[in-house]
């Protein structure tokens, strides 16, 4: 159970990105965070693993206060939270295998890892995870030779290396062809249903939300404007989240 | 409502000081431009002291009055005419001060022909030299017992006196000889008995030559008795060696001594550039982090360090390596070490800036992603930062080495060692064939470095 209490983030330039956000995520949920660009979705996800430091509020995960964790504790917590990104954030010019192995850095011997040494077992694990996302044959290619869809699968394989209990997905399909969006989201759905990993995913398209989400949080200007089931999002609700002039866009 | 401006007042103001009328008419930037243009042109023409050129100044000045008149009546006229007049005046001055002389360029082209021809015949190959010498001893002035006339030898080249064997400076005597190479030319040499003072004898301004017949005999030649060497003056009768010398090239061509010298100095030059670049790398890497805005932003102290480091780098980069080399030659003496230091200092500045720009342009995404996996700070640097900065660092370094090889040849001209130093000496000694070899070596090595560094950079980026 992840509980977010009165989370507020004000950036150094005075921008109010999150304004007293509170909600709960029960284990095993596929929660979609819905909202316009700039609504605070990315800030919210990054506050959960503290890539961004919240200004106020608490985040409690299975009884542990993430917001209070210090350096080493925070790294222990982060190990169990996978994250995938809109821009994939792979290390270009490095092999796919190495990119996937970096997902294991929190577990392996830090001194050996600095010399790019990983135990055989971890390499096997990386290959298994690549196989799981269907790109085992690309293990020795350089990351920058891959297509967008392949890169995001590398991103998922990297997150899987952490054996996560929670997966944060920041607009995972916004940089991809709509056709590829389903293939990526299906992997997330599979992780959610087969491995019981809690997923918190920010998305743009309502069709995708209806198809994959088990629960939805709508954000607008840093505030929660909707909490509920995907089928509860009527056109009226949609307009509340996206503004009056919004029209629904269909994704095949 | 705006107050009306008087065109007449405006004109008069501009007549007194160019541009003043324009300021009065409400166009201060136009006024400043006129004032600057007319003032600078007038000063330059005055400095040149050339009467006719004042025409340009006068035209521009009068036009400026006309412009002020029109501006006051709220009409803007195109400044093309004064612009052209001033430009023409400046170009005429430029032509004069740089002493451009096209006629000389055409008429004196013959002067450069031997030089260019020598550069295209670099002293890369040479043949062995074989020498033949025959000599007799002459006495000047005469003593009581003058030396013998000499005797013809059986197999070796020889010289004998025909008439006298002693005499005063300015007298003439005759020699002949045999057993030299047949039908060949040679020179007559004069030296003291010890042989350390010697020179080729001249006759009426030209070197005294001879040519042997088919049997290798030297026909009788008249030689003038030379003035005594400085240390023999007033010491009474001295013996001198009179020699007939011939030389010819034998055997097949082989690589010359010049070639090996050039190769050696070229290697020194490449190492000079390598050492300078390497020293620069070690200093530039830490500096580059201090000069990267994305790492130093955040608090005022680090920002201050950032600005200070940037300023120092910019100042260092603006000092030519040639000037650095002159300073270091004075400091550590002539030779490659001075060159290494000069190039290193300049490279630190150049690499520091390039490296810091590479750091500034790294993608924060991978850093974020690897931090999110629970990796520690060092792991994040190893896996997310280093892979991003190594290729640009390598590329810039190889590029810099390439530039340093090119620069080190020039550095040599002011005493920084390497091939440049040798080239500069050969040019001053008018040894253009040797200089040609050095020029070719530089051209070839620079071209190879240029190509190789471009290829390597292509691969790693």
Residues of B in contact with A87 (CB under 8 A): 365
pLDDT band at residue B310 under the 50/70/90 scheme:
very high
**Residue B12 β-bridge partners:** none
CB neighbour list of residue B188: distance below 8 Å, 6 or more residues apart: B200, B201, B208, B209, B210, B221, B223, B242, B243, B244, B245
Residues of B in contact with A168 (CB under 8 A): 372
Nearest to B374 among A76, A85, A158 (CB): A76
Percent residues over pLDDT 70 in chain B = 99
Question: Cβ of A51 and B368 within 8 Å?
Answer: yes
Q: Give the pLDDT score at B1.
A: 41
Q: Give the pLDDT score at B118.
A: 87
Cα–Cα distance, A52 to A65 (Å, whole number): 15
CB neighbour list of residue B169: distance below 8 Å, 6 or more residues apart: B140, B141, B225, B226, B227, B228
ipTM: 0.91
Per-residue pLDDT of chain A (252 residues; tens, 9 = 90+): 899 999 999 998 888 999 999 999 999 999 999 888 888 899 999 999 999 999 999 999 998 999 998 888 999 999 999 999 999 999 988 899 999 999 999 999 989 998 989 999 999 999 999 999 999 999 999 998 998 889 999 999 999 999 999 999 999 988 888 888 888 999 999 999 999 999 999 987 888 888 899 999 999 889 998 898 888 887 778 777 777 666 665 554
Among B298, B363, B375, pick the best mutation site for testing chain A contact (most A Cβ within 10 A). B375
Residue B186 has pLDDT above 60, yes or no: yes
Q: Provide the token pair at B251.
A: 């055997």
Residue B344 has pLDDT above 70, yes or no: yes
**B124, B98 Cβ separation under 8 angstroms:** no
Nearest-neighbour CA in chain B from A213: distance (Å): 24
Q: Give the pLDDT score at A246.
A: 64
Residues of A in contact with B366 (CB under 8 A): 89-92
Q: Give the pLDDT score at B294.
A: 78
Using only C-alpha atoms, what is the Rg of chain A? 18
A109 at B interface, C-beta within 8 A: no
Question: Cβ of B374 and A79 within 8 Å?
Answer: yes
A140 at B interface, C-beta within 8 A: no
Cα–Cα distance, B356 to B431 (Å, whole number): 46
Question: Cβ of B379 and A110 within 8 Å?
Answer: yes
| B367 closest CA partner among B357, B356, B376 | B376
Fold of B257-460: MetI-like fold (1.10.3720)
A110 at B interface, C-beta within 8 A: yes
Residue A182 covered by a domain: no
State the residue for tokens 């979609």. A32
Residue A215 covered by a domain: yes
State the residue for tokens 């209990």. A165
Q: Give the pLDDT score at A249.
A: 59
C-alpha separations of A172 from A18, A70, A200, A204, B449 in Å: 21, 29, 11, 10, 46
Residues of B in contact with A105 (CB under 8 A): 370, 373-376, 379, 383
**Residue B198 β-bridge partners:** B191
Tens-digit pLDDT profile for residues B373-398: 999 888 988 899 888 998 889 889 98
Q: From B460, which residue of chain A is nearest by alpha-carbon distance?
A: A93
Residue A9 covered by a domain: yes
Residue A185 covered by a domain: no
| A11 closest CA partner among A46, A36, A61, A37 | A46
Tens-digit pLDDT profile for residues B209-223: 889 988 888 899 988
Beta strands across the sheet bearing B172-178: B158-161, B172-178, B218-224
**A96, A143 Cβ separation under 8 angstroms:** yes
Strands A2-10 and A16-25: antiparallel
Q: Concatenated DSSP letters for B381-414?
A: IIIIIHHHHHHHHHHHHHHHHHHHHHHHHHHHHT
Cα–Cα distance, B418 to B203 (Å, whole number): 42
Q: Give the pLDDT score at B229.
A: 84
Nearest-neighbour CA in chain A from B85: distance (Å): 54
Residues of B in contact with A88 (CB under 8 A): 365
Q: Provide the token pair at A191.
A: 């992780």
For the entire predicted model, the pTM comes to: 0.67
CB neighbour list of residue A181: distance below 8 Å, 6 or more residues apart: A173, A205, A208, A251
Q: Provide the token pair at B275.
A: 């050492």
Residues of B in contact with A90 (CB under 8 A): 366, 369
Inter-helix orientation angle B432-460/B419-428, to 10°: 150
Cα–Cα distance, A187 to A185 (Å, whole number): 5
| B270 closest CA partner among B77, B444, B425 | B444
Q: Give the pLDDT score at A25.
A: 93
Residues of A in contact with B387 (CB under 8 A): 91-94
Q: Give the pLDDT score at A121.
A: 93
B78 at A interface, C-beta within 8 A: no
Cα–Cα distance, B23 to B10 (Å, whole number): 9
B370 at A interface, C-beta within 8 A: yes
Q: Provide the token pair at B307.
A: 């600005």
Cα–Cα distance, B401 to B418 (Å, whole number): 15
CB neighbour list of residue B170: distance below 8 Å, 6 or more residues apart: B224, B225
Residue numbers of the domain that contains A219: 1-80+167-175+198-252
Residue A251 sits in a domain whose CATH number is 3.40.50.300
**Residue A181 β-bridge partners:** none
Mean pLDDT value across residues B121-146: 87
Residue B236 has pLDDT above 80, yes or no: yes
Considering chain B, tell me which residue range(s) the CATH 1.10.3720.10 domain(s) occupy: 257-460
Q: Give the pLDDT score at A250.
A: 58
Tens-digit pLDDT profile for residues A112-143: 998 989 999 999 999 999 999 999 999 999 99
Mean pLDDT value across residues B86-108: 91
How many domains does one find in chain A? 1
Question: Cβ of B379 and A87 within 8 Å?
Answer: no
End-to-end Cα separation, chain B, in angstroms = 64
CB pairs under 8 A between A and B: 83
Nearest-neighbour CA in chain A from B366: distance (Å): 5
Question: Cβ of B373 and A103 within 8 Å?
Answer: yes
Tens-digit pLDDT profile for residues A187-212: 999 999 999 999 999 987 888 888 89
Using only C-alpha atoms, what is the Rg of chain B? 38
pLDDT band at residue B206 under the 50/70/90 scheme:
confident
**B343, B408 Cβ separation under 8 angstroms:** yes
Cα–Cα distance, A66 to A80 (Å, whole number): 12
End-to-end Cα separation, chain A, in angstroms = 33
pLDDT band at residue B155 under the 50/70/90 scheme:
confident
Residues of A in contact with B365 (CB under 8 A): 85, 87-89
Residues of B in contact with A49 (CB under 8 A): 372
């Amino acid at each position: 159970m992840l509980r977010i209490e009165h989370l507020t983030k004000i950036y150094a330039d005075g921008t109010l990105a999150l304004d007293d956000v509170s909600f709960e995520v029960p284990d095993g949920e596929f929660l979609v965070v819905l909202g316009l660009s700039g609504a605070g979705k990315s800030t919210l996800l990054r506050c959960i693993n503290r890539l961004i430091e919240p200004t106020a509020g608490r985040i409690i995960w299975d009884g542990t206060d993430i917001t209070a964790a210090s350096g080493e504790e925070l790294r222990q917590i982060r190990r169990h939270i996978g994250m995938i990104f809109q821009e994939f954030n792979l290390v270009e010019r490095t092999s796919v295998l190495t990119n996937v192995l970096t997902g294991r850095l929190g577990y392996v011997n830090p001194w050996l890892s600095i010399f790019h040494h990983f135990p055989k077992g971890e390499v096997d694990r990386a290959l298994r995870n690549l196989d799981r996302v269907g790109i085992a044959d690309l293990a020795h290619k350089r990351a920058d030779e891959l297509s967008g869809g392949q890169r995001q699968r590398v991103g998922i394989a990297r997150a899987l290396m952490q054996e996560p209990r929670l997966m944060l997905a920041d607009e995972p399909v916004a940089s991809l062809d709509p056709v590829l969006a389903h293939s990526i989201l299906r992997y997330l759905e599979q992780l959610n249903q087969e491995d019981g990993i809690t997923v918190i995913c920010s998305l743009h398209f309502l069709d995708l939300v209806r198809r994959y989400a088990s629960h939805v949080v709508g954000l607008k200007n840093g505030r929660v404007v909707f909490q509920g089931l995907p089928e509860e999002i009527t056109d009226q609700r949609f307009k509340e989240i996206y503004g009056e002039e919004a029209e629904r866009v269909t994704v095949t | 409502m705006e107050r009306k401006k008087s065109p007449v007042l405006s004109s008069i103001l501009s007549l007194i000081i160019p541009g003043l009328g324009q300021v009065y008419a409400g166009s201060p930037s136009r006024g400043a431009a006129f004032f600057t243009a007319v003032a600078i042109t007038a000063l330059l023409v005055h400095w040149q002291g050339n009467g006719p050129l004042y025409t340009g100044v006068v035209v521009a000045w009068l036009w400026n009055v006309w412009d002020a008149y029109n501006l006051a009546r709220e009409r803007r006229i195109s400044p093309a005419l004064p612009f052209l007049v001033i430009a023409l005046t400046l170009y005429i001055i430029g032509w004069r001060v740089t002493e451009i002389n096209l006629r000389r360029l055409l008429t004196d082209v013959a002067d450069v022909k031997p030089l260019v021809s020598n550069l295209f015949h670099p002293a890369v190959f040479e043949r062995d030299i074989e020498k033949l010498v025959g000599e007799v001893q002459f006495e000047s002035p005469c003593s009581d017992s003058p030396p013998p006339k000499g005797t013809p030898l059986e197999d070796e080249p020889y010289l004998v006196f025909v008439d006298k064997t002693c005499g005063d400076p300015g007298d003439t005597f005759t020699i002949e000889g045999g057993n030299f190479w047949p039908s060949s030319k040679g020179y007559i040499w004069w030296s003291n008995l010890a042989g350390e003072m010697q020179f080729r004898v001249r006759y009426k301004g030209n070197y005294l030559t001879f040519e042997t017949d088919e049997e290798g005999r030297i026909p009788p030649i008249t030689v003038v008795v030379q003035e005594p060497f400085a240390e023999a003056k007033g010491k009474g009768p001295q013996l001198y060696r009179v020699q007939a010398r011939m030389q010819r090239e034998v055997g097949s061509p082989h690589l010359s001594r010049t070639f090996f010298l050039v190769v050696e100095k070229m290697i020194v030059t490449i190492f000079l550039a390598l050492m300078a670049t390497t020293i620069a790398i070690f200093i530039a890497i830490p500096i580059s982090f201090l000069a990267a805005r994305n790492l130093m932003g955040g608090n005022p102290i680090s920002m201050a360090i950032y600005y200070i480091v940037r300023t120092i780098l910019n100042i260092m980069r603006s000092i030519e390596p040639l000037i650095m080399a002159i300073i270091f030659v004075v400091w550590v003496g002539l030779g490659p070490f001075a060159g290494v230091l000069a190039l290193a200092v300049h490279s630190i500045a150049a690499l520091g800036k390039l490296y810091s720009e590479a750091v500034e342009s790294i993608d924060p995404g991978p850093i974020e992603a690897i931090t999110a996996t629970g990796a520690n700070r060092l792991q994040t640097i190893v896996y997310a930062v280093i892979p991003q900065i190594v290729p640009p660092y390598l590329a810039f370094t190889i590029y810099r080495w390439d530039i340093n090889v090119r620069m080190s040849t020039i550095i040599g001209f002011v005493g920084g060692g390497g091939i440049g130093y040798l080239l500069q000496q050969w040019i001053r000694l008018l040894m253009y064939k040797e200089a040609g070899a050095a020029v070719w070596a530089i051209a070839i090595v620079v071209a190879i470095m240029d190509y190789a560094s471009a290829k390597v950079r292509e691969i790693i980026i």
